[in-house]
Structure 1
Amino acid sequence: MKLLVLLLLAWSTPVLAAASGPEATECVGCHTPKRTEPQARFGNGLGRWNDSQCYGCHAELNEVARLNHQGQRDARYFAVPVREEKLVRMATSPLSYMNAPEAVEPGGGAVPRVSGERLAAFLRRPASLSSKDGGRAPRMMAYPALTPKALRSVAALLAVREPLREEVPAKLTEPEKKAAEALWTARCGSCHGGTKPMAGRGPLALGLHTAQWLHAYAKGQASVPGRTRLMPVVDLSLDDAKLLYRWFGAARTEAEGALDASVAQLKLEAAAVPQAVPPAFIPYLWGSFFRDATCVHCHATSPRAAGAFKADAEGLKAYLGRKSGEEFWRRLETRSLEAEHGLVAAKPGMPMAGTELPAQVRGLIARWVLEGCKDPEGKTWCRR
């Protein structure tokens, strides 16, 4: 019996280690078979999901919205914590995470798909994996404070087989850069190029894959887990794939710098388009805004997010005192820049993994900050 217990512990320890930490726990809710298993079900059939089960919870809410749009209401409809107008929008614009693959690595000894040395950069600053879903804002959680230990846990959970190297790859020479650009234009750019690539994935997203995978997939010798192949076979040698892999890495570095420069140039005064905040906007900002802007999806449920900012009036007061009104506005404005660049900023914008707020709303918030972050009673909570 003692030997059996030891064997069971030896078998289960790597699994438990792989799922440790908030980053890995959140990955379980999107990228493993458990993503569609609720903790329990209420009497009306609606699933009871925890805050890390993003995929399953959103999938069920999207299903209820779609059925309601088709005139097929079921018992779950009366219990979903979503307003009627939001359900109408969800019928044609589903909640995020629906493109998350259940598995990110093929099994059975196939060519490794995810690059270990690029995984950390992608987790800290995700790139848009698809530009065909109506926007370029990355639809994945970002982990800017990712530690080496957390990275190892996530890599183990996702079955990433490549070493998690952190060394800086050799910089492309000018001839290599020109050769890579010519190769991209000739073999890839017609489908994967531009701000809205027909194939969905541009250089920033493709850079997450190993050179071996890029070569095998282009040749029709590899497949995406759980996906039907639509891409035609492309004549791409392994050396070509290695060159493109390095070029993708350089493209990410360049894109990160461009985005961070844009964030640094944000000016509160320039964004405050209205001359005054309409009286009705102030009580809205301290109340319904938290739900309409999807803040509550994370900042009222997830311990990781709620610890930084609690999505209610008291939480806003605490944030304004600890940070500033300008920082509150800046995080919202940053999201619009992330949508332009298809990449998450060094300090992520909000709403993370969601669509940026309308420019008009961001302009009103900028003016509200300049006026002192007043609450409905007229008390100011910030200087900027």
Structure 2
Amino acid sequence: MKHVVLTLLLLLGLPAHALGEKAEECTGCHTSKRTVAQQRFGNGLGRWTDAQCFGCHAELNDVAVKRHQRIQDPRYVAVPVREERLKSMATVSPLSYMSAPESVEPEGAVPRISLERLGDFLKRPSTLSVVEGGRAPRMMAYPDLRPRELAEIARMLGVKTVARAAKAVPLNTAERQQADALWASRCKSCHAGEQRLSGRSAVTLGLFTPEWIHAYANNRVTSPRPETRTMPEVPLNLDEARLLHRLFGAMRTEEQKSLDARVAALELEATPMPAQLPPGFVNFLWGPFFRTATCVHCHATSPRAARAFTANEAGMKQYLRDRSGRELWMRLATRHEEDRHGLVAALPGMPMAGAPIPQETLGLIGRWVLERCPDPQGKTWCRP
């Protein structure tokens, strides 16, 4: 019987061992399956599962573009997006995940992704592109990623560096000076600054192997294609690439410490907020806020996210009972710090993979927390 089941799985093209939650989510953005609908999604727009972020967002963006071009599309009535957002999606700001590469490990002899850095990246993603001046990473974070899950994701993505390298040796003073000089003369003009020319900062560049950095800088790779390449050829030998790779790792560690220090210094009472809540805000917070702040994208559809918080009135009450209003405010405030650093915090901010909520809304939530988290009926759900 076991052999019969295995044969059927092979004939159907299905894996004998189903992917775990985290690896399954990766397939929805970084494999050819991202454009293959699986089943009907909750909003009725198309046929996408909650793990297929790229596919669902691509369909939404397609509807937005057709709407902007005044082309009739029957899917328009099911799009849960305001008209002004539809316009921006079609012109300047498409939804998250649209820049996700279908293949993160292109064909060729040179391995691109460093396994030792992939785990760091998945736990705390860093900015891959700058959208409308925003720097908040547009990718899911997996802070509780386990070695077994990392290995599964690496296999699924086709990462070629299958064995972990020896433990990284910190740069000594002379090496750090040499690496800093290389960064300043070869990389910094494009990969640093608030409005950098390249979307990849030093922290993100650390995801790539020294061999790939060397080959790419010298224009010796076939992906991206030469006609789509925007980076000029930069003379760099392999030893220099290895030194830069170590520098990028050190810079990630430094940036993580800086971000975590800023998050630890956040104080609810010190945040700008109104003296009192305006009429209607409490009703908004317990209802439309879940969609406006994009909470429902994960916390009403994904089992993994819903285990932490369910984006509805009952879920809010449970969260406030089990945790606190201050923690809710803190997670939302953390996202603003992540946006400034282009890096996810140790305890990720919300909304994950999206832009921070407006500062004005954050201040209103701060006032709501200090007033003990009242619901529309006036009952309070948290301590001040």
> What is the TM-score normalised by the length of structure 2?
0.93
- Alignment of 1:193 onto 2:184: no
Counterparts of 1:8 and 1:161 in 2: how far apart (Å)? 29
Q: Does structure 2 conserve the Cα–Cα contact (< 8 Å) formed by 1:115 and 1:208? A: yes
Q: Which amino acid aligns with 1:185?
A: A
1:133-152 equivalences in 2 (<5 Å):
134-152=133-151
Deviation larger for 374-383 or 167-176: 167-176
Q: Deviations over 1:335-381 (max 9, x none)?
A: 00000000000000000000001111101101110110011111100
Match of 1:184 in 2: 183
Note the aligned Cα RMSD (angstroms): 2.5
Q: Deviations over 1:45-66 (max 9, x none)?
A: 9521000000010011011112
Match of 2:160 in 1: 161
Q: Deviations over 1:80-132 (max 9, x none)?
A: 2334343234223211000000000012x420000010010000000001125
Counterparts of 1:376 and 1:41 in 2: how far apart (Å)? 33
Q: 1:62 to 1:13 in 2, by over 3 A?
A: closer
Q: Deviations over 1:262-302 (max 9, x none)?
A: 01000000115211111211100001000000001111001
Deviation larger for 163-172 or 186-195: 163-172
How many residue pairs match? The answer is: 380
Q: Does structure 2 conserve the Cα–Cα contact (< 8 Å) formed by 1:180 and 1:247? A: yes
Q: Deviations over 1:110-157 (max 9, x none)?
A: 200000100100000000011255410000000001011111110001
- Identity of aligned pairs, percent? 58
Match of 1:98 in 2: 98
Q: 1:302 to 1:63 in 2, by over 3 A?
A: same
Match of 1:24 in 2: 23
Q: Does structure 2 conserve the Cα–Cα contact (< 8 Å) formed by 1:39 and 1:47? A: no
Counterparts of 1:47 and 1:8 in 2: how far apart (Å)? 28
Q: Deviations over 1:27-51 (max 9, x none)?
A: 0100000101112579xx9521000
The ranges of structure 1 where at least 4 consecutive aligned residues each deviate by more than 4 angstroms after the TM superposition are 1-17
Deviation larger for 186-195 or 143-152: 186-195
Q: Does structure 1 conserve the Cα–Cα contact (< 8 Å) formed by 2:9 and 2:15? A: no
1:1-384 equivalences in 2 (<5 Å):
15-17=15-17, 20-40=19-39, 46-92=45-91, 93-107=93-107, 109-132=108-131, 134-165=133-164, 168-224=167-223, 228-384=228-384
Q: 1:166 to 1:325 in 2, by over 3 A?
A: farther
Q: Does structure 2 conserve the Cα–Cα contact (< 8 Å) formed by 1:374 and 1:380? A: yes
Counterparts of 2:6 and 2:380 in 1: how far apart (Å)? 61
Q: Does structure 2 conserve the Cα–Cα contact (< 8 Å) formed by 1:290 and 1:312? A: yes
Q: How many Å apart are 1:225 and its aligned residue? A: 5.2
Counterparts of 1:365 and 1:164 in 2: how far apart (Å)? 47
Q: Which amino acid aligns with 1:282?
A: V
Q: Deviations over 1:301-350 (max 9, x none)?
A: 01011111000111100000011000000000000000000000000000
SS at match of 2:198: coil
Q: Does structure 2 conserve the Cα–Cα contact (< 8 Å) formed by 1:132 and 1:196? A: no
SS at match of 1:216: helix
> What is the TM-score normalised by the length of structure 1?
0.93
Counterparts of 2:45 and 2:266 in 1: how far apart (Å)? 43
Q: Does structure 2 conserve the Cα–Cα contact (< 8 Å) formed by 1:298 and 1:305? A: yes
Q: Which amino acid aligns with 1:237?
A: N
Q: 1:231 to 1:270 in 2, by over 3 A?
A: same
SS at match of 1:377: coil
Structure 1: which 5+ runs fail to align? none
Counterparts of 2:194 and 2:103 in 1: how far apart (Å)? 27
Q: Which amino acid aligns with 1:366?
A: G
